[in-house]
């Protein structure tokens, strides 16, 4: 109840001046975009995310992942939030998202509060970008400036979600090509993969990595102390060869709710959960990616700085601004 009382006071304090419609002129994203039209926008998002993560620490990873899955399909335009309606087939039903993405109700709550404070002003796409940043910072990770001014798409892409979101068993070659298609380079791939230092994955996402004999040999080859063997036994106890597809295991078995650099240490020990994580060290013939993994494993501050830079870069993928798109009143549906 206390947080609702606080937010009520926040909303009551919103200054009514400066609520003219946004400019129709196209332009780049900017800092303090809502300073005049909705001065407490970032505070409302931050407080709401803090409440959600306090209730469910795993929600931090879920909100971060939501932003990632949005940006990799048509750009950072909140298309991932749309429900199936009329001619729209929701991206939520696509393979990488179905029964996997979480955090939609948190976004709904944030949007409700923002519409109460500043009707028709703050986009759902900007909410996703801000929520991802705040979620990471709350769990001990870096905090970065979020450039704002995104508008929301008028459509979703079910096929795009199936095509462009990396699969948990992707090869390194596929991952590099996938990120390149989004305007992201190999450095961004390695840095953003560090988001798997938080959260959990379903059994169906890592079963192949546990039971495939050839893959197992690759991981053990890169772990001279054979620590992977014990780790594999733990994973098998969670995930049998068949059934229990939605059983969860932590992506980082040591600190699953904290944003840190242990993800990279796990990779070097053969203890990355997903096949798409481990290929960073098992399929890097040139060795440059492995060097970056070692650098982040050795220097958390370096990882944090690189991650923040890559998140800003990712948040700029194919954004809609100016007269393109709209500001949805409800993040699940286009305006009518």
- For residues 26 and 155, membership in a common domain is answered with yes
- For residues 244 and 299, membership in a common domain is answered with yes
- For residues 141 and 207, membership in a common domain is answered with no
Distance between CA atoms of residues 43 and 6, nearest Å: 11
Choice between 258 and 232, residue whose per-residue pLDDT is larger:
258
The torsion of the CA quartet 11, 14, 17, 19, rounded to 10 degrees, works out to: -50
Active site residues: 69
First-last CA distance in the chain: 34
- For residues 17 and 130, membership in a common domain is answered with yes
For 126, half-sphere exposure in the C-beta direction (CA atoms, 13 angstrom radius) is 30
- For residues 231 and 276, membership in a common domain is answered with yes
- For residues 155 and 229, membership in a common domain is answered with no
Confidence band (pLDDT; 50, 70, 90) for 27?
low
Question: Residue 84, exposed/middle/buried by CB under 10 A (0-12, 13-18, 19+)?
Answer: middle
Rg of the chain in Å (alpha carbons): 20
75-89, 106-120, 214-228: range with lowest mean pLDDT: 214-228
Distance between CA atoms of residues 138 and 203, nearest Å: 27
Distance between CA atoms of residues 323 and 126, nearest Å: 16
Question: Does the annotation flag 19 for ligand binding?
Answer: no
Residue 275 CB partners (closer than 8 Å, separation 6+): 168, 169, 170, 206, 208, 209, 215
Residue 143 resides in a domain: yes
209-222: average pLDDT: 58
Residue 174 resides in a domain: no
- For residues 76 and 107, membership in a common domain is answered with yes
- For residues 153 and 17, membership in a common domain is answered with yes
- For residues 294 and 230, membership in a common domain is answered with yes
Phi, psi of 88 (to 5 degrees): -100, 125
Cβ atoms of residues 273 and 109 within 8 Å: no
- For residues 10 and 150, membership in a common domain is answered with yes
Tell me what pLDDT residue 218 has. 53
Confidence check: pLDDT of 25 > 60: no
Question: Does the annotation flag 230 for ligand binding?
Answer: no
Q: Can you give the CATH number for the domain in which 20 is found?
A: 1.10.520.10
Question: Does the annotation flag 260 for ligand binding?
Answer: yes
Residue 325 resides in a domain: no
Quick one: what percent of the chain has pLDDT higher than 70?
Answer: 87
How many C-beta atoms lie closer than 10 Å to residue 184's C-beta? Answer: 20
Question: Does the annotation flag 255 for ligand binding?
Answer: yes
Confidence check: pLDDT of 22 > 70: no
Residue 334 resides in a domain: no
pLDDT in tens, 177-189: 999 999 999 999 9
Question: Does the annotation flag 10 for ligand binding?
Answer: no
Residue 328 resides in a domain: no
- Partnered with residue 202 across adjacent β-strands are 248
Cβ atoms of residues 269 and 162 within 8 Å: no
Confidence check: pLDDT of 69 > 90: yes
pTM over 0.85: yes
Diameter of the chain measured on Cα atoms: 65
- For residues 237 and 126, membership in a common domain is answered with no
Distance between CA atoms of residues 60 and 95, nearest Å: 22
40-62: average pLDDT: 97
- Domain boundary pick from 115, 130, 164: 164
Helix (H, G, I), strand (E, B) or coil at 282: helix
| Domain that includes residue 143, residue range | 2-164
What's the total number of domains in the chain? 2
Long-range pairs for 329-333 at CB < 8 Å and ≥24 separation?
329/115, 329/119, 329/120, 330/108, 330/111, 331/78, 331/81, 331/82, 331/107, 331/108, 331/111, 331/124, 331/127, 331/152, 332/81, 332/82, 332/83, 332/104, 332/108, 333/82, 333/83, 333/85
Mean pLDDT of the chain: 88
5-9, 17-21, 54-58: range with lowest mean pLDDT: 17-21
Q: Can you give the CATH number for the domain in which 278 is found?
A: 1.10.420.10
Residue 176 resides in a domain: no
- Domain boundary pick from 164, 193, 210: 164
- For residues 201 and 301, membership in a common domain is answered with yes
Residue 172 resides in a domain: no
Residue 319 resides in a domain: no
How many C-beta atoms lie closer than 10 Å to residue 208's C-beta? Answer: 13
């Amino acid at each position: 109840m206390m947080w609702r009382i606080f937010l009520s006071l926040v909303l009551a304090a919103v200054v009514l001046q400066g609520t003219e419609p946004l400019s129709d002129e196209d332009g780049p994203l900017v800092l303090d975009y809502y300073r005049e039209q909705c001065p407490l926008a970032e505070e409302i998002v931050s407080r709401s995310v803090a409440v959600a993560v306090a209730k469910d620490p795993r929600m931090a990873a879920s909100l971060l992942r939501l932003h990632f899955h949005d940006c990799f399909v048509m750009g950072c335009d909140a298309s991932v939030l749309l429900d199936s309606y009329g001619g729209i087939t929701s991206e939520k039903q696509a393979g990488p998202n179905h029964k996997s993405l979480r955090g939609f109700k948190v976004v709904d709550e944030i949007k409700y509060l923002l519409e109460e404070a500043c009707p028709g002003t703050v986009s759902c796409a900007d909410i996703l970008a801000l929520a991802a940043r705040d979620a990471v910072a709350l769990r001990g990770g870096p905090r970065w400036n979020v450039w704002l001014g995104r508008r929301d798409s008028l459509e979703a892409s079910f096929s795009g979600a199936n095509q462009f979101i990396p699969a948990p068993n992707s090869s390194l070659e596929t991952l590099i090509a996938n990120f390149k298609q989004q305007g992201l380079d190999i450095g961004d791939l390695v840095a953003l993969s560090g988001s798997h230092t938080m959260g959990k994955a379903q059994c169906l996402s890592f079963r192949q990595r546990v039971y495939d004999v050839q893959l197992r040999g690759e991981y053990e080859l890169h772990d001279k102390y054979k620590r992977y063997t014990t780790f594999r036994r733990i994973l098998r106890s969670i995930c049998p060869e068949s059934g229990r597809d939605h059983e969860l295991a932590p992506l980082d078995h040591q600190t699953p709710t904290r944003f840190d650099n242990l993800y990279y240490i796990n990779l070097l020990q053969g203890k990355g959960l997903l096949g798409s994580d481990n290929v960073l060290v098992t399929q890097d013939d040139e060795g440059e990616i492995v060097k970056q993994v070692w650098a982040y494993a050795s220097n958390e501050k370096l990882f944090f700085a690189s991650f923040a830079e890559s998140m800003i870069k990712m948040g700029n993928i194919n954004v809609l601004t100016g007269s393109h798109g709209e500001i949805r009143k409800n993040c699940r549906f286009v305006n009518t």
